[in-house]
Copies of this chain bind each other. A is one copy, B any other.
Amino acid sequence: MQAFNDLADFSNEEINALLELANRLDVSPEPTALRGKVLSLLFLNPSLRTLASFQAAMTRLGGGSFVISPDMSIHGLETRPGIVMDGTAAEHIREAVPVIASYGDAIGIRAFAERKNLATDLAETEFNSLTDLIETPYINMESAMNHPCQNLADWKTLDDLGIPANGGKFVLSWAYHPNALPLAVPSSTLYMAAKRGMDVTVLRPEGFALPDSIMEKAGAAAAASGGSIRESEDRAEAMEDAQIIYAKSWSSTTAYGDKNGDRELRKGLESWCVDDDWFENAASDCRFMHCLPVRRGVVVSEAVLDGPRSVVIHEARNRMLGQMAVLHQMLGSGS
């Protein structure tokens, strides 16, 4: 495997094979599989789960990793092309990224969306500008529109819960948050659920529809897998018979990159906090999913998050297991 960048690059069979491997590694450790192998971890944005789970994954397979993150003194990395570096930044990504990559057998890169221009972010301009600099195998640890490690973990979680691939009812719901958050998780989660073949409803208020190209990509995946996607602003209708509600806040797409416009749009939407009453029409064992971190009492009520519907810790642990499978395929002796 040369890159783990987007679930769309893999067939459903390949994803199922990864998840079988993840399950096998969970019960049958392989503590020498990646002996002497190094994973470079480059975070241009902060992290907790990704930071911890990748380090743990490499250790469990007998290898190791190192972390370069914005919290560290990395001289201030310059990203603009063609710049005269006479300011504070002492190093350009054109050197830093290939150098960091050269110390590892693979590199994980996290680079969030700039969130200035939607077309630029949809084109993955920034993330691609980084991976264009390297020839090492790489893993997308969250880019403008993708978060494949989260998607793989969530797919596994749906399997673990016995939610059927075809016929399973999955609601992806926008939730309130004081800030405008990236589109990577909602966009790639929609794609994951569609590709898995589920019946997916995107529940969101006006102004928060996902971009057309994202909806189209997911629609094509749904069609190929026997699933479906639709959008709704009506909570009761969307939640009918739902087996999963996957909550996430995201920025407005009509006021993308416009802080004030976005704030105006989310004004009065505080009731988009997933609470017990959301589940009235849902399947009785409907579960609550979220990628974390999550704001209690804002995105979801304490009652739901601490109650039996919540599988957020299970999802987070699956991050490590899914990544172990990816690393094993990417760096193991059979790779």
Contact = CB atoms under 8 A, between A and B. Distances in A.
Nearest to A290: B95
Q: How many copies does the complex hold?
A: 3
A96 to B, nearest CB: 7
Interface in A276-293: 292-293
Given A52-B68, A61-B36, A64-B55, A73 B47 contact: yes
A263 interface: no
A118 interface: no
A111 B77 CA distance: 22
Given A91-B48, A295-B86, A313-B99, A66 B55 contact: yes
Contact of A313 (B35, B78, B98, B297): B98
A236 interface: no
Contacts of A49: 99
A72 interface: yes
A35 B63 CA distance: 10
Interface residues of A, number: 69
A60 interface: yes
Contacts of A53: 103
A38 B51 CA distance: 14
A36 B29 contact: yes
B48 A96 contact: yes
A222 to B, nearest CB: 30
Given A31-B36, A32-B35, A56 B103 contact: yes
A320 to B, nearest CB: 5
